[in-house]
Amino acid sequence: MRFTTSLPYEVLKMAMDSIRSHKFRSALTIIGIVVGVITAIVVASILTGVRGSMVAIVEEYGTNNIYAFHLTTGFGGASRDERNRKPLTDQDAEAILAQSTAINDISLVAPRIGSFNGGFDDNLIYEGKNYRWALTDGVTPNHMELTNLVLKAGRFITEADNQQRRNVLVVGVNCVDALFPGKEDDVVGKVVRMNGETWEIIGVIEKRKAGFFGENEEDRKVFLPFRTARKVAPERKEELFVIQAKQGQLKDAVAEVEGILRQRRNVKYGEPSDFDVKTADSFIAQFDSIIGGVGLAAIAISCLGLLVGGIGVMNIMLVSVTERTKEIGIRKAIGATKSAIVLQFLLEAMTLTFFGGVIGVVIAIGISNLIMLLVPSIPAQVPAWAVIAGLGTSVGVGLIFGVLPARKASRLDPIECLRYE
- Domain finish residue from 246, 261, 285: 285
Given a cut of 60, whether residue 228 has pLDDT beyond it is: yes
Whether residues 85 and 199 share a domain: the answer is yes
State the Cα–Cα distance between residues 260 and 272, nearest whole angstrom. 14
Whether residues 17 and 87 share a domain: the answer is no
- pLDDT for the residue numbered 3: 43
Mean pLDDT to the nearest integer, 291-308? 83
Whether residues 206 and 83 share a domain: the answer is yes
- Number of structural domains (the chain) is 2
Mean pLDDT to the nearest integer, 364-372? 89
Q: Which amino acid is at 174?
A: N
What is the dihedral angle through the alpha carbons of 253, 255, 257, 259, rounded to the nearest 10 degrees?
A: -150
- Domain finish residue from 256, 285, 314: 285
Whether residues 241 and 350 share a domain: the answer is no
Residue of 19 and 235 predicted with greater confidence? 235
Label residue 145 exposed, middle or buried (CB < 10 Å: 0-12, 13-18, 19+).
middle
Residue of 40 and 253 predicted with greater confidence? 253
In the chain, what are the helix, strand and coil shares in percent, each to the nearest 5? 55, 15, 30
- pLDDT for the residue numbered 115: 61
What would the pLDDT profile of 152-175 be if each residue is shown by its tens digit? 999 999 999 999 999 999 999 999
Whether residues 259 and 319 share a domain: the answer is no
8 Å CB contact between 126 and 190: yes
Whether residues 93 and 210 share a domain: the answer is yes
Whether residues 225 and 81 share a domain: the answer is yes
Mean pLDDT to the nearest integer, 345-374? 88
Close Cβ partners of 373 (under 8 Å, ≥ 6 residues apart): none
Pairing outcome for strands 197-205 and 276-279: unpaired
- pLDDT for the residue numbered 155: 96
Whether residues 156 and 300 share a domain: the answer is no
Whether residues 276 and 292 share a domain: the answer is no
Mean pLDDT, all residues of the chain:
85
Whether residues 120 and 255 share a domain: the answer is yes
Whether residues 113 and 238 share a domain: the answer is yes
Given a cut of 70, whether residue 193 has pLDDT beyond it is: yes
Whether residues 42 and 111 share a domain: the answer is no
- pLDDT for the residue numbered 2: 43
Half-sphere exposure of 275 (CA within 13 A, CB side): 28
- pLDDT for the residue numbered 65: 92
Which residues of 83-161 form beta strands (DSSP E)?
103-110, 124-126, 129-131, 135-139, 151-154
Domain extent for 374:
3-56+288-419
- Domain finish residue from 241, 256, 285: 285
State the Cα–Cα distance between residues 242 and 75, nearest whole angstrom. 17
What would the pLDDT profile of 300-333 be if each residue is shown by its tens digit? 888 888 888 888 888 888 887 887 778 778 877 8
- pLDDT for the residue numbered 102: 94
